[in-house]
A and B are shown apart, each in its own frame.
Chain A
Amino acid sequence: MQPKPIFALLLRCCLMLCVSFLIGGGNAAANDFLSDDAYANGETAQVADPIEPVNRAIFTLNDKFYIWVLDPVATGYSKVLPADIRGCIGNFFYNLGEPVRSVNCLLQGRFRDSGLVLSRFALNTICGVFGLADTAAHEFAIPPISATLGETLATWGIGDGFYVVAPLLGPSTVRDLTGTVVDSLAMASYYPWSDDELSPYTLTGVNTVNRTSLHLGEYDQLKSLSFDPYIAFRNGYFQMRSKTRNHSQTK
């Protein structure tokens, strides 16, 4: 009697997909800058923050980690490697995530996007030499398309839970953090270096340092301009998230 639970699971997935089509697409206008509602009460973070003291503590820890470890390492790294090579390395890591993004698009009912992401992956892997160059964006005018499991879960009607500042990873919510963890496990499952135990960690480190090196000084600048960095970054996270999840302009 083994196949029964699997069948039930499949059925549930189908049901969720149907529901997601029914619900999907209704959220785009909620954060329109041209409507005064967007400015009415300043509540961009509609997501609750019940564990604020804990989050603040982790925020401070992350801040210290950035100042004492990540920033000096990334600064050194940026002096060794020129910016265009670092850009290529960033492209390479981004390209490896495309299959997972394509699946997420599919699960969200964005069939066109899913196909576009897959064609980006094929084009960049073949013409862009293993994804080092973003040929798809530059030569074929297919810009990067974002999709995460957190967003998939959101289209399925699963709520955010509450705001979480994750150690090393930074701002997220319970739902999105779960999504990020599952997404990265899924990506790691097909990474070419996943057979050895140490390499995934090393490469995640390289990816992080590389990404930081492309945005040096931005964090410090934002922090110096804010009155309460914790709130500034929380608000910034939710604003940025709603922008990346608004696909009305890419359609």
Chain B
Amino acid sequence: MWFMILDRRCRRQGTQFFFSGLLVLVVIIFGSFLGQAAAASSPDPTEQFRPFLQKVTDVLADPTLKTVPKKEQSQRVINVVRERFDFREMSKRVLGQHWRSLNTQEQAQFEQLFTELLQYAYVGKIDEYTGQQVEFTQQRIKGDRAEVQTLLVDANKSIPISYILILRGTQWMAYDVVVEGVSLVRNYMEQFKEILLKDGYPGLVKQIENKISQLEQQQKQS
């Protein structure tokens, strides 16, 4: 008698297992379809960055660029760079937790200052551009973040440069540049942290302004 009861219970459990198994399978199959659909809808970072970097190198290689004053040179380059660089995200990250303690006006001010700093910091590099080529090595995607790894190839050396991107709608925007393993944002972040600790936000603004005018002076001399 108890054999039959056990047998029936087993069978019932068996069908339960069968149905729950089927349900899991259906969920997995649908899930994978959804996953594929999501992967298909998120654009390829390298495909977006290839024409962009081509545009930047085209601007740098433009022979008329070197005939205009330095300030205009850097302005031309930064205008192209803005297309795929999210300077607000960059400023936010470079300040870390401190960003939240700034009001909207201060945030906008900092974003502008930091962008200007980068503009002056890299305008010196414009002269150094002698037709180096960009090679795309690989990319990684993790959710709405991606890394596009490139090599800047020169005649006798190649420098690994990675772009760290965030997905904004359908556009991948860069918020960090990693040169030979050193992240620009993280490097400035640690320096800014010390300044913020010592002199607070006004002190930092003052130091960035000083640096910009110092770099401006250097460029006028050269």
Q: A residues touching B (Cβ–Cβ < 8 Å)?
A: 33-35, 38-45, 83-84, 87, 214, 221, 224-228, 231-232, 234-236, 239-240, 242-244
Contacts and interface: CB of A to CB of B under 8 A. Distances in A.
Interface of B: 93, 96-97, 121, 124, 140, 142, 145-147, 155-157, 162, 164, 176, 178, 180-183, 185-195, 207-208, 211, 215, 218
Contacts of A39: 93, 96, 185-186, 189
A227 B191 contact: yes
5 contacts: A34-B147, A41-B96, A227-B208, A235-B190, A239-B187
Contacts of B194: 228, 231
Q: What are the 7 closest A-B residue pairs judged by CB atoms, nearest first?
A: A243-B181, A42-B189, A34-B145, A34-B142, A235-B190, A239-B182, A227-B191
Contacts, number: 80
Contacts of A231: 190-191, 194
B157 A33 contact: no
Given A39-B93, A39-B186, 18 more contacts: A33-B147, A33-B162, A33-B183, A34-B140, A38-B183, A39-B96, A39-B189, A42-B96, A42-B189, A44-B190, A87-B156, A221-B124, A227-B188, A232-B190, A232-B191, A235-B187, A243-B182, A244-B181
Contacts of B146: 34
Contact of A228 (B155, B185, B191): B191
A35 B147 CA distance: 11
Contacts of B156: 83-84, 87
